[in-house]
Amino acid sequence: MLVRLIVGLGNPGPKYAGTRHNAGFWFVERVAERLGVDLRAERKFHGAIGRYRDAGLDLHLLCPDTYMNHSGRAVAALARFHRIPPEAILVAHDEIDLPAGVVRLKRGGGHGGHNGLRDIIPALGSRDFARLRIGVGHPGSSDQVIAYVLHAPGRSELTAIDSAIDAAAAQAPALAAGDWDRAQQQLHTRE
């Protein structure tokens, strides 16, 4: 299936801009930059949106401004308005269970403890959307996770994350064209 909507998860505002939790925002911003798309605030969709149309592709981009725990409101509003089924949505998010610099594509599944995904599932009424899991590493102890994701990565981690995001953003046209297997092969074998 074609990807018609790419959502980047994060928290709005300068306080969170450089934190690990905003890796999804970083990805969508990189895709927008590569495709020459401006992201503009749109109140009715609760976030910054952009749209890319070229050579038969029609791809929406979204960075919700609702904070992570309420991401579903923005995703559902845009998906309903443009009649985009869950199977045509890719949600990019930070993933503590992957090392910094590793990215993985996944179709469907649960929330895995991620509050953004936890909110999107009931808002869409489905778990069938795809995920781009952007590795940010793990703090080593579960009681440190919240503080860890709400802080900026170190220089070497940031370099690794940035490289992974760049590689993933290069695959956005393939995903929008429905070439999931090629995009997955490129990303899963890049290490």
Detail the residues annotated as belonging to a binding site for tRNA: 16, 67, 69, 115
Cα dist from 133 to 13, 35, 41, 76, 111, whole Å:
22, 21, 25, 20, 11
- Give the C-alpha separation, 135 to 113, whole Å: 15
**Is residue 21 annotated as part of the catalytic site, yes or no?**
yes
Task: Pick the catalytic residue from 21, 46, 60, 93.
Answer: 21
Cα dist from 30 to 120, 163, 172, whole Å:
22, 11, 10
- Judge whether 164 and 136 are in contact, CB under 8 Å: no
Pairing state of beta strands 40-42 and 47-54? antiparallel
Query: At a CB cut-off of 8 Å and minimum separation 6, what does 83 contact?
Result: none
Q: Which residues are catalytic?
A: 21
